[in-house]
Amino acid sequence: MLSTQTLIEKIKATPEQVQFKEVIEVIEQEYDFTPMAFSNGKQNNGINENNGSCKVFSFASIHQLNEVETLHLFGDFYRVDVLDNPAGSDHQNIRQFIENGWSGIRLETPALVKKSA
């Protein structure tokens, strides 16, 4: 299993190999998550709605990942479902992030806190 450090190294070296499942595993292993509402461009997400996206955006923000690195954290949801189907209407958080980048993300408070050792 990856750690935060090895995941960040992987996203910088071989982003096309990162899978959403392994990202979520790292987050759940190393961080406490508090569900919260957030907005992403035109997409408004209520509490406990799109928690995976909330976790990914929070993780990427904490580690100051750029837009491309952040998108690759979504794995094949980004690379296959969205990029291979640009006219699709699924995965609105990914599509809105492509359009608006970090300027479109509004998280009221950090959703992730590093677990105590």
Contacts (Cβ under 8 Å, ≥6 apart) of 90? 81, 82
Is residue 10 helix, strand or coil? helix
* Domain CATH number, residue 22: 3.20.160.10
Domain hosting residue 42, numbered range: 4-114
> Per-residue confidence at 38, pLDDT binned at 50, 70, 90?
very high
The pLDDT of residue 25: 98
Total number of domains constituting the chain: 1
- pTM here? 0.96
Contacts (Cβ under 8 Å, ≥6 apart) of 46? 37
* Element at 49 (helix H, strand E): none
Structure tokens at 28: 């759940």
The pLDDT of residue 1: 83
- β-bridge partners, 106: 39
CB 26 within 8 A of CB 49: no
pLDDT tens digit sequence for 63-108 = 999 999 999 999 999 999 999 999 999 999 999 999 999 999 999 8
